[in-house]
Amino acid sequence: SRKKGCPRATFLTLADCGYLQGIEARHEEKKGGKLYQRAIQVANLILDFPAISKSELADKTCYKDSQGSYDIVLALAQKGLLKHPE
């Protein structure tokens, strides 16, 4: 099976930046690439608008996710594992 980089990058970005419950932010200097920026944007949208749908995320980010990155962030939020960084 083909490994998808976007969901992995999304999860690691959220962990590194303090968006996950129980995981300290690493506070490292980030490159700030598109995947990084999109992960942060999606996490903030979901935290600010908990009922937001995947189609609304696509509209707000101008990106149609075909690799499951939105699913990762939505699942983390539904399980109560997503939070704003401190």
What is the tens place of the pLDDT at every residue in 7-50? 899 999 999 999 999 998 886 656 678 889 999 999 999 999 99
Q: Per the domain annotation, does 53 fall within a domain?
A: yes
Q: Is the pTM of this model over 0.85?
A: yes
Split into its structural domains, the chain has a count of 1
Q: Per the domain annotation, does 86 fall within a domain?
A: no
Domain extent, residue 21, equals 5-78
CB 61: neighbour CB atoms within 10 A?
16
The CA angle 48-54-56, to the nearest 5 degrees, is 65
